[in-house]
Amino acid sequence: MNKIKKPNILFIITDQQRHDVMGCCDDIIQTPNLDKLASRGKIFTEAVCNVPMCVASRYAIMTGLYGFQSGVKHNAQMICRDEDLPVPVLAERLRSAGYKTAGFGKTHWYIGSSILPKAEIDGSARGFDTRYIRGASGNPSTEEKNAIYMGDEEPEWVIKEKEENSTFGLGGETVNGYVGLTSTVPPEHHGEGWLTRKALDYIDNELDRDNPFFMYLSYDYPHVGLRVPPGYEERYNINDFSDEPPVESATLGHRQGEDFKDAWLHMTSKERQKSRLRYAALCTYVDDLYGSVIQKLDDIGELENTFILYTSDHGDMMGDRGLASKYSLYEGSIRVPMIIAGPGVESTGLTDERPAESVDIVPTLLDAAGVEIPENLPGFSLISDFKRSGAFAEMHGRGYEEYQRAPAIMYRNKDWKLILYISGPLGAFSGELENIKGELYYLKEDLIELNDLYKDDEHSKTREKMTTQLLMHVMCSLGRFPSGVQRASINVTGPETKPDSSIWE
């Protein structure tokens, strides 16, 4: 007899998956397991990430705090030591509540010596009892203590993957990375395949049936470069994918002056089709993988008592407005899939149009576990009847610039999006607010955001209302955290700009 009183929790997260690349949103896309999950749960159609890039987004997801609250605002910042974390992180909170915690895949707690060569980390697994990570061990700037790395068990496949990735350039966000390739590595020996095998082994051999578990299943796909395992491209017809060139915006908006990614502007029509097909094929590949984990839980009788949350850390512009990658507050970059299913989800097979955010994940999973949600967190449980007026996101540059950029902030509802920003370095900002710029889009008729209405007098009331809502949202979040003795200082490693525009060492 199953003696578990609390529900198990399975948290599935992909990397750089757009909100609309799912079978339940697009008939061309083959994600049958995700579609089945949505049919027995609830899909949040207006969900956004809070910081559209890997490191800062995952800190928001795991802490439940906005970047401006935790101090991790872009991809070149991190918190090196557990003692400096602003709040207990997700796995630690659940472990303290009696959960056995197992993490499979990317967390991105630590950045690496190529970006921060002088940083020293404590290598903590941050709440996970069991930890498996793709790639090789031996890097003191990123290695988690007591974690098992794929390179220690299957070094030949890690080397092969590294060789294939080397053709794409750093980060894979190049023409070669977006066009991608057909991998020669069998599906089960990709890093994601190895992680899935380890997750299945854990369920078979290490699961404690007398206690609830928290399983974190994190895949690097469909992040570019697009290395598709054999057999997956053949599931699609290339003629189903558009070869149309991207429609460019007249201005770069809050990306003005930034070294933005423009790979899509340099691709041929056939390359654009290949890219869209391979991106979809990788979504199908990971669908097979997490589908096997869900099926395993069903086979052993645990699925009915397992709460599942599915999301991605951010999206990808995939040519919208002529842009590639993330690093912007536009729809393709900030919107993410968000699905919940399992105990406590009363309405199933429904869409939910409430503005949901990545910072809602910690409150949601704590709520599912029957753990009290801390009042200092800015998010809400998606299981509850919460309702906010709009969703918030922030940009502080990518972190790879010579200086920290001044912020761009967004407030969005189903119909409208407001973006406010200041161009240039944060350190050059003198306190004069005359140089604030903005963008305003009527999403109901302009999903690619080509028609900026910010200076249109006809929409001045909408602009002013959303500006007020954005201001109060930020201030109310700051009223929650940090406050009092909760945070005496922010100990974040990474570049911050001095008032004279120079960088703190």
Domains of the chain: 8-389 (3.40.720.10), 394-486 (3.30.1120)
Average pLDDT over residues 373-378: 95
Question: Per DSSP, what are the bridge partners of residue 43?
Answer: 339, 351
**Greatest alpha-carbon span in the chain:** 67
Give backbone dihedrals phi and psi of 355, rounded to 5 degrees, phi first: -65, 110
Share above pLDDT 90 across residues of the chain, in percent, rounded to a whole number: 74
| β-strands 213-218, 100-104 pairing | parallel
Q: Two tokens at 71?
A: 């101090």
Band (432; pLDDT cuts 50, 70, 90): low
Q: What is the pLDDT of residue 248?
A: 80
* 3 state DSSP class of 437: strand
pLDDT: which is higher, 115 or 233: 233
Q: What is the pLDDT of residue 258?
A: 64
Count of beta carbons in the 10 Å neighbourhood of residue 87: 21
Band (430; pLDDT cuts 50, 70, 90): low
How does DSSP assign 192-218, residue by residue?
Answer: HHHHHHHHHHHHHHT--TTS-EEEEEE
Residue 337 · residue 311 · CB < 8 Å: yes
Measured distance CA(395)–CA(319) in Å, rounded: 20
First CA to last CA distance, the chain: 58
Band (488; pLDDT cuts 50, 70, 90): very low
Measured distance CA(77)–CA(79) in Å, rounded: 7
Measured distance CA(45)–CA(170) in Å, rounded: 32
Q: What is the pLDDT of residue 490?
A: 59
Average pLDDT over residues 341-358: 92
Instruction: Give pLDDT tens digits for 209-260.
Output: 889 999 999 999 999 999 999 999 999 999 999 888 878 877 788 886 666 6
Band (499; pLDDT cuts 50, 70, 90): very low
* Residue whose structure tokens are 């299957």: 154
Residue 275 · residue 317 · CB < 8 Å: no
Band (341; pLDDT cuts 50, 70, 90): very high
